[in-house]
Amino acid sequence: MISCQQSFLDETQTTNLDEQTVFSDSTFTMSFLMDIYTGVGFSEDPGRFGAGGIRSGGLQTATDEAEPRILSSITTDIQFITGTVNPLIIDDAPWRVGYSNIRKVNQFLAHLPEAPLDESLKTRLKAEARFLRAWYYGILLKHYGGVPLIGDRVFQSPDEILAQRNTFAECVEYIVAECDAAALDLPNRPSGRNHGRAGAGSCMALKARVLLYAASPLFNGSGFGDDKAELVGYTDHDPERWRMAWEAARAVIAVQEFDLFVDNATAPGLGFYKLFLASDFAAEGAYIGTLFEIKQGHGNYREQLFNPPSRGGGGGGFPYQELVDAFGMSNGKPITDPSSGYDPGDPYAGRDPRFYNSIVYDQTPLRNAGTPDVPVDIYTGNYNGEPQGQDAVFTGTPTGYYGKKFLHKATAANWFIAVPQSRPLLRYAEVLLNFAEARNEYLGPDAEVYSALEAIRMRAGLDPYALPSGLTKEEMREVIRNERRVELALEGHRFWDVRRWMIAEEVGNQTKTGMEVQRNGSTVTYNHFDVRKHVFRKAAYFWPIPYDEVAKSPELVQNPYY
């Protein structure tokens, strides 16, 4: 009967939703804003890179934290660790997703006045949208340095789109101003049905992060890029930028509606584990440590990434020995301290509780299907009459380790139980670390620096958690950097930290190692081995702007050394 209708094949409109329809309906208007929220976590997604539907890893596998899963195609993380990153085949998601969502925000703001919503609600939604725009500009800034600021404009296809890059300083000023303005019209901590939306705390924490980056060596007058220096940093060095950064972080602390979620009574550092599964522990107050998160439903995406093959995983990256060694002992001392109690013949005993919630090592108890606490066999050789299996080093993992952070103890990826997949993007521990770093750089290691760090170490379950007194500024700097490394491990921060500290040329040109555990009956030996020589080119301090963007816009200047 349809074939008799001559107008059937003439139909070209696939939907009756246009801008006028969407913004004349309150439900569609709210849905439009929610769509902008869905992309907020793409940059630090632990399965960000991949090919053919298979994940190789995320930013953790593009730096010195973890070895990526090797695929038949060249992935962006491989490009970064082999020094082959270039504008032609670089992942374009930061540019594409960033500007796509910035345009959506501008569309939303342009039409919000006509939407059939209460005026007080419009005020809050406008502030949320402005935060989201600042968030996406923040992602662009981390990747590329200064980028074109388009203001409130919504470009159409016939329009000439502005492509000239603003300076790094102008972008920082814009993001900070947007955060300040948005915070005025938002509650500190949205709750109830508004939980998961941006609040004033989110705005303040983003501002503190951007200012910390801006004060860091790479951006604070390093002269990187020579004639392009103003695009990728400040052209002058100003120590006052450290003051601005610690004051911004302290403003978050002063709100007093956020805190570290502590649960050391049942097991040391249990609060650290629960933080990443906050919806399961919301009744206990686990959300108190989260200022902004990517809201996702229940499932087993992260378990599929990080679990060993026997548990249905294997694509989120395999931690290097160097990351393992960064975790100290439960007494708070680094493993290099002769008095720490570290035993190379039993290297996984007595470690920082965060280690046990971040790394899967040989014989780690882990759920397998419906059975809890089944040891993961990563050894080579024969143990208790059982030969090595599919999880073994050189078989399942190229480093001797799997990632454990984010994983729920109640499920494996090959089981039917769905667990929380939301993850924090701004959390209170990072705010404390930002505060400690910036204040130490400006004033030195005073009591407030000690207090911020020791709060994190206490929540981690270290005993004792106090730091040695009398540390110099340089010694405290190293403590702070290592605390960031272990507290924020595998969350995407390390990639940016080694760049803004300008140590990427050091740590990015080293051979990364792993651990082979050999078992022969009751005899156990631990052997370090080389995994991969990393190569870092100076250009890789920043991402190249995708070639297609530069080619179609001659005024869009490429980043230095590409």
Query: Rounded to whole angstroms, how far apart are CA atoms 197 and 187?
Result: 10
Contact call for residues 41 and 136 (beta carbons, < 8 A): no
Sequence-ordered strand ranges (E) for 330-407:
359-360, 365-368, 371-375, 380-383, 386-387, 402-403
Nearest to 481 by CA among 184, 216, 269: 216
Query: Rounded to whole angstroms, how far apart are CA atoms 209 and 290?
Result: 15
Least confident of 118-132, 149-163, 200-214, 429-443: 149-163
Model confidence pLDDT, tens digit, residues 214-271 = 999 999 999 999 999 999 999 999 999 999 999 999 999 999 999 999 999 999 999 9
Sequence-ordered strand ranges (E) for 336-440:
359-360, 365-368, 371-375, 380-383, 386-387, 402-403, 419-420, 423-427
Q: In Å, how far are 224, 497, 500, 560 from 541, measured between CA atoms?
A: 9, 11, 8, 9
Model confidence pLDDT, tens digit, residues 486-496 = 999 999 999 99
Mean pLDDT of 470-496: 98
User: Band of the pLDDT at 450, cuts 50, 70, 90?
Assistant: very high
Q: Are strands 402-403 and 386-387 parallel, antiparallel or unpaired?
A: unpaired
- Location of structure tokens 């667990």: 419
Answer yes or no: is pLDDT of 509 > 60. Answer: yes
Model confidence pLDDT, tens digit, residues 346-365 = 999 999 999 999 999 999 99
131: number of CA atoms within 13 Å, CB side? 29
**Contact residues for 314 (Cβ-Cβ < 8 A; gap 6+):** 69, 307, 308, 396, 402
The reported pLDDT for the residue numbered 318 is 98
341: number of CA atoms within 13 Å, CB side? 11
**Contact residues for 158 (Cβ-Cβ < 8 A; gap 6+):** none
Prediction pTM value:
0.95
The reported pLDDT for the residue numbered 473 is 98
Q: How high is the mean pLDDT of the chain?
A: 94
- Surface-to-core class of residue 299, CB atoms within 10 Å of its CB (0-12 exposed, 13-18 middle, 19+ buried): middle
Using alpha carbons only, what angle is made at residue 298 by residues 292 and 299, rounded to the nearest 5 degrees? 120
Model confidence pLDDT, tens digit, residues 59-72 = 999 999 999 999 99
Model confidence pLDDT, tens digit, residues 267-291 = 999 999 999 999 999 999 999 999 9
The reported pLDDT for the residue numbered 211 is 98
Answer yes or no: is pLDDT of 10 > 80. Answer: no
User: Band of the pLDDT at 16, cuts 50, 70, 90?
Assistant: low
Task: Give alpha helix (H) positions in 383-427.
Answer: none
Q: What percent of the chain has pLDDT over 90?
A: 89
The reported pLDDT for the residue numbered 14 is 47
The reported pLDDT for the residue numbered 185 is 98
Given CA atoms 498, 499, 504, 508 in this order, what sign does their dihedral have?
A: positive
Model confidence pLDDT, tens digit, residues 549-560 = 999 988 999 999
Mean pLDDT of 137-153: 97
Largest CA distance in the chain: 89
371: number of CA atoms within 13 Å, CB side? 7
Answer yes or no: is pLDDT of 2 > 50. Answer: no
User: Band of the pLDDT at 311, cuts 50, 70, 90?
Assistant: very high
The reported pLDDT for the residue numbered 11 is 45
Q: In Å, how far are 37, 185, 194, 258, 368 from 190, measured between CA atoms?
A: 15, 12, 5, 12, 37
User: Band of the pLDDT at 15, cuts 50, 70, 90?
Assistant: low
Answer yes or no: is pLDDT of 382 > 80. Answer: yes
Mean pLDDT of 310-332: 95
Query: Rounded to whole angstroms, how far apart are CA atoms 116 and 300?
Result: 38
- Bigger pLDDT: 422 vs 14: 422
Residue type, 556: L
Least confident of 108-112, 384-388, 439-443: 384-388
The reported pLDDT for the residue numbered 12 is 47
The reported pLDDT for the residue numbered 1 is 40
The reported pLDDT for the residue numbered 9 is 44
